[in-house]
């Protein structure tokens, strides 16, 4: 896979999305919400924010009807991440290292699925 500007934008927007999700989580904790509710609410807010920023800033597409495909990709890559971690656990690979590897794998899969299925990006 050729490393191009679109993928770099995808990664940079991903960093922004991660910061946003953590900020929401931390703010909810600060205001007294239980951590389980903070996780649920920050995940929902994070996915919605991620959908809008990835669609608009990376793929120049703001079609809200694509949210279901986007959530499906998010769920699929989460499952892939869990599988990678489980395999790492089975062969006694350090889970912190496996988490980094898993993040990279999931980012590439997510980019490919978002580009070719969710947002069907075509160069202008």
Cβ contact 113:73 at 8 Å: yes
- For the chain, the domain total comes to 1
Q: Does 24 reside within a domain?
A: yes
CA–CA gap between residue 39 and residue 35 (Å, rounded) = 6
pLDDT mean values, one per 10 residues, the chain (124 residues): 81 95 94 93 95 96 96 94 94 93 93 95 60
CA 95 to mean position of chain CA atoms: 19
Q: Which pLDDT belongs to residue 3?
A: 60
Cβ contact 39:46 at 8 Å: no
Determine the structural domain holding residue 40 and report its residue range.
5-118
Q: Which pLDDT belongs to residue 4?
A: 85
Q: Does 123 reside within a domain?
A: no
CA–CA gap between residue 41 and residue 44 (Å, rounded) = 5
Q: Which pLDDT belongs to residue 82?
A: 92
Q: Is 58 exposed, middle or buried (0-12, 13-18, 19+ CB in 10 A)?
A: buried
Q: Does 124 reside within a domain?
A: no
């Amino acid at each position: 896979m050729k490393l191009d500007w679109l993928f770099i934008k995808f990664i940079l927007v991903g960093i922004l999305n991660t910061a946003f999700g953590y900020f929401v989580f931390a703010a909810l904790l600060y205001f007294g919400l239980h951590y389980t509710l903070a996780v649920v609410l920050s995940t929902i807010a994070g996915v919605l924010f991620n959908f809008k920023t990835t669609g608009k800033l990376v793929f120049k597409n703001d079609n809200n009807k694509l949210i279901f495909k986007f959530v499906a990709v998010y769920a699929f890559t989460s499952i892939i991440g869990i599988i990678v971690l489980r395999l790492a656990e089975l062969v006694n690979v350090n889970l912190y290292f496996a988490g980094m590897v898993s993040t990279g794998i999931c980012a590439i899969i997510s980019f490919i699925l978002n580009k070719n299925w969710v947002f069907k990006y075509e160069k202008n």
